[in-house]
Structure 1
Amino acid sequence: MKAQPEPLPDHLRALVGQGVDAIDTPALVVDLDAANRNLQRAVEFATKHRLRLRPHAKMHKSPAVARLELQAGAVGVCVQTVAEAEAMGAGGINDILITNEILAVNKLRRVAALAHQLSVRGGQLGIVVDSAEGVERLAQAMQLTKAVVDVYIEIDVGQGRCGVSPDEKVVTLARAVVARSSLRFAGLHAYHGGAQHLRTVGERHAAIVAAAAKVEDVRRLLEAADMPVPLVTGAGTGTFAHEAASGVWNEVQPGSFLFMDADYLRNDRDPAQPQFEPALFVKAQVISVSAGHAVCDAGLKAHAIDSGVPEVHALPGQPPLRFANGGDEHGVLHPLDESGPLSNLPALGDTVWLIPGHCDPTVNLHSHLVVVRDGLAGGRVESVVPVMARGVW
């Protein structure tokens, strides 16, 4: 497992208790009050609909944030990589599900070691599979320990990515799992990532209705083979109200709901789902002003643009601005109303707050989250949280 993080550098430790003005730029800032409101809304929704809430920690990559989610009522966390799982385990998280296929022998040995360590302290590790080879390699690795790992068969419910087709192949795979004493058939993993950013509520609803039909078909096949399905897990921030309404899923895995990002905020509002607000921001400073535009110090090294450039979050009294990509170190700011006066541009030294286009890879670019209480305008730094699960291994 990964070692505990290095102590905070002096300049970061000194931030705690200071006002937001003391935060150097560019910095990744969490509005704790907004994040807590988002978390409470998600927990209330899951409780009302009798769903297990297992947030996806690949979004925040921080055991400290995962602990907040567990304290609020989450049953555990999801991760996407072995390194993320190890970081969560090292940070005290005991219920972890790896929602990705792992085939590399060395990585599977790490999976077995983590399963053992969690088992010793009363925890549980889960992992998804979609091939007989994956089952066999996982079973071989688990011979290194007496622990038992929960195995979910991933089915392709419309994403067209990983997952076995929803037919008799699932029965064959489930039989391979139950034949191994170190593997426990825990259920089905049914996540439709492609539906998360369909813009209209109708499009998202139709996608999950189709996904639910596939899950039901698979459940009937497994029950006919005397292998009842203990749990169906999946869903994301864009669709989990539809998974809840279907009655098919027992557990949901939204991740981005906690922080939100500009791309999710572009989705049409679903009245059946809690309303989440942006809680993750890149703090930037205006370093240059020219006729018609200004430049801030947050470029591609500070935020991901795979889902579009950031939105500029205007605080009261600040002019509405449009962000344009300026390269590695720079962002170009234009007045939202291009025909307006130049006074609509910020001044040299002003702070601008950016809502990243995609929160997950943006967090991966930063070593720390600066957590602020009482808002961005006049709040104070509550803590500085290491991003322990950065990277891809």
Structure 2
Amino acid sequence: MKAPPEAPPPLPAALAALTGQGVAAIDTPAAVIDLDAMELNLARMAAFARAHGVRLRPHAKMHKSAFLARLQMQAGAVGVCVQKTSEAEALSAAGVTDIYISNQVIDPAKLRRVAALAQRLQAAGGRLGIAVDSLEGIARLAAAVSGQDPEADATSTALDVFVEIDVGQGRCGAPPGEAAVALALAIAAHPVLRFAGLQAYHGRAQHQRGVDERRDAIARAARAVQDTRARIEAAGLAVPLVTGAGTGTFALETASGAWDELQAGSYLFMDADYAANAHDPAQPAFEHALFIKSQVISVNAAHAVCDAGHKSHAIDSGLPRVHALPGQGALSFANGGDEHGILHPVAGDRTLAGAPEPALPAWGDTVWLIPGHCDPTVNLHDHLIGVRGGLEHGTVERIIRVDARGALT
């Protein structure tokens, strides 16, 4: 049987814009970063951490970009967090040197990759950390470290190991208290592992809408952290660091005194879901910096359709919100499927001077969307288009590569 002809090499991904172009030239749909807003967020979070004497280790699973991780570290962050081994590998390959995998890794092949990456980072003057929540996880991690370096010991190991405790998320994590003490002691007793502290993240609290609700949730989490830390120290083992917190609650973790390091990530871009939270005046206000630029491709009697559907923005935390520029009428966004968004005028809106009724956009008009959830939205894009000077008249200043896009293993 005759072999089929070889397929041609794949075409490189087309960029939605080139540097120097005006914002109007950006092809759609595209993920666009308002650099002015992003830099305000960067500075406000860095200033908060400095003023309160806490370390900042932003979660890079949000932006998956080595450029943005380095920008955060230049502003004062000690390093970044990731959730997956492949995210750590991608960011390390692009020059990020201080990385913490705030998740469980159990597969032996992945753990060998973790151990090898730890050695590479150590050789480059960096460091790698990882979380565990079971004796099984500790044993598997130790086997991988020993296999990578037969002469490893607790003083030379390149890997920081944190015990994750469940402080309300109901996901990974050992129970606070004696179960966590046993894990910490097991790490400390192991000849090739180094106990680095506690991982304590309350993800559910991030999106509780009321400030009082969030305050109560973090107060309970803080008591669990403080009790666990005291028990470990009473057992004769120092707890060098407690790391955790998120964009919705970091001021509460800081005020409790129970956390030494903040892992907030979404603050850099923000999204529609976080914007629905009541603002805590103890936290700096953050600006929306991530937008999806879309274009109207169809107009009907009662609705218009744009070219940004599920493949352009994540909907796990709700549909995107339409961001009206000055002079534009208010629109609502309805689910249109993979490649379409359905737009309706908001009844009662009189944004457009003299408009007797709420107006629909016209064919070819730009519609800006604020995604419901920034993290998985970024993972849908190869590049982020960095714009300086605003969404209306700005200029493309930088194309930001999403280095860890699709890094799921």
Aligned match of 1:3: none
Aligned match of 2:3: none
What is the CA–CA distance in structure 2 between the aligned matches of 1:288 and 1:102, rounded to whole Å? 47
2:233 pairs with 1:223? yes
What is the CA–CA distance in structure 1 between the aligned matches of 2:360 and 2:13, rounded to whole Å? 35
Tell me the secondary structure at the aligned position of residue 109 of structure 1: helix
Aligned match of 1:180: 190
Aligned match of 1:327: 337
Q: Which range is displaced more, 217-226 or 145-154? A: 145-154
Q: Shift of the alpha carbon at 1:182?
A: 2.5
Aligned match of 1:375: 390
2:280 pairs with 1:265? no
Q: Shift of the alpha carbon at 1:10?
A: 8.9
Amino acid at match of 1:345: L
Change (3 A) 1:382 1:310: same
What is the CA–CA distance in structure 2 between the aligned matches of 1:65 and 1:106, rounded to whole Å? 29
Q: Shift of the alpha carbon at 1:216?
A: 0.9
Amino acid at match of 1:355: I
Q: Shift of the alpha carbon at 1:95?
A: 0.6
Q: Match for 2:115 among 106, 112, 115?
A: 112
Runs of 4+ residues over 4 Å off in structure 1: 8-11, 338-343
Aligned match of 2:52: 49
2:329 pairs with 1:314? no
Q: Equivalent residues in 2 for 1:24-35 (5 A)?
A: 24-35=27-38
Deviations 1:40-96 (A, max 9, x none): 000000011100000000000010111110111111000000011111111111110
Q: Shift of the alpha carbon at 1:384?
A: 1.0
Q: Equivalent residues in 2 for 1:123-142 (5 A)?
A: 123-142=126-145
Q: Shift of the alpha carbon at 1:179?
A: 1.7
Deviations 1:111-130 (A, max 9, x none): 01110110001101000000
What is the CA–CA distance in structure 1 between the aligned matches of 2:279 and 2:68, rounded to whole Å? 26
Q: Shift of the alpha carbon at 1:326?
A: 0.3
Deviations 1:104-162 (A, max 9, x none): 01100110111011000110100000000100100111120344210010001111111
What is the CA–CA distance in structure 2 between the aligned matches of 1:321 and 1:103, rounded to whole Å? 47
2:300 pairs with 1:290? yes
Tell me the secondary structure at the aligned position of residue 283 of structure 1: strand
Tell me the secondary structure at the aligned position of residue 263 of structure 1: helix
Q: Which range is displaced more, 296-305 or 164-173? A: 164-173
Aligned match of 1:5: none
Q: Give the conservation status (yes or no) of the 8 Å contact 2:132–2:162.
A: yes
Deviations 1:3-53 (A, max 9, x none): xxxxx9595396111111111000000111100000100000001110000
Q: Give the conservation status (yes or no) of the 8 Å contact 1:292–1:342.
A: no
Q: Give the conservation status (yes or no) of the 8 Å contact 1:291–1:342.
A: no
Amino acid at match of 2:249: T
Q: Match for 1:149 among 150, 159, 164?
A: 159
Amino acid at match of 1:264: Y
Q: Give the conservation status (yes or no) of the 8 Å contact 2:17–2:26.
A: no
Deviations 1:240-280 (A, max 9, x none): 00001001101000000000000000000110001001000
Deviations 1:288-338 (A, max 9, x none): 111111100000100010100000011111111100110011000111126
Tell me the secondary structure at the aligned position of residue 304 of structure 1: coil
Q: Give the conservation status (yes or no) of the 8 Å contact 1:149–1:182.
A: no
What is the CA–CA distance in structure 2 between the aligned matches of 1:169 and 1:309, rounded to whole Å? 40
Tell me the secondary structure at the aligned position of residue 318 of structure 1: coil
What is the CA–CA distance in structure 2 between the aligned matches of 1:332 and 1:14, rounded to whole Å? 25
Q: Shift of the alpha carbon at 1:342?
A: 5.4
Structure label with greater radius of gyration: 2
Q: Give the conservation status (yes or no) of the 8 Å contact 1:148–1:182.
A: no
Tell me the secondary structure at the aligned position of residue 286 of structure 1: strand
Aligned match of 1:4: none
Q: Give the conservation status (yes or no) of the 8 Å contact 1:13–1:384.
A: no
Q: Give the conservation status (yes or no) of the 8 Å contact 2:346–2:358.
A: no
Q: Give the conservation status (yes or no) of the 8 Å contact 2:17–2:396.
A: no
Amino acid at match of 1:270: D
Unaligned runs of 5+ in 1: 1-7
Amino acid at match of 1:135: I
Aligned match of 1:363: 378
Amino acid at match of 1:325: N
Q: Give the conservation status (yes or no) of the 8 Å contact 2:161–2:195.
A: yes
Q: Give the conservation status (yes or no) of the 8 Å contact 1:55–1:255.
A: yes
Q: Match for 1:88 among 65, 88, 91?
A: 91
Tell me the secondary structure at the aligned position of residue 36 of structure 2: helix
What is the CA–CA distance in structure 1 between the aligned matches of 2:159 and 2:189, rounded to whole Å? 13
Q: TM-score w.r.t. structure 1 length?
A: 0.96
2:196 pairs with 1:191? no
Change (3 A) 1:192 1:10: closer
Q: Give the conservation status (yes or no) of the 8 Å contact 2:16–2:27.
A: no
Change (3 A) 1:292 1:10: closer
Paired residue total: 386
Q: TM-score w.r.t. structure 2 length?
A: 0.92
Q: Equivalent residues in 2 for 1:202-241 (5 A)?
A: 202-241=212-251
What is the CA–CA distance in structure 2 between the aligned matches of 1:169 and 1:339, rounded to whole Å? 57
What is the CA–CA distance in structure 1 between the aligned matches of 2:114 and 2:13, rounded to whole Å? 35
2:282 pairs with 1:279? no
Tell me the secondary structure at the aligned position of residue 377 of structure 1: coil
- RMSD over aligned CA atoms reads 1.5
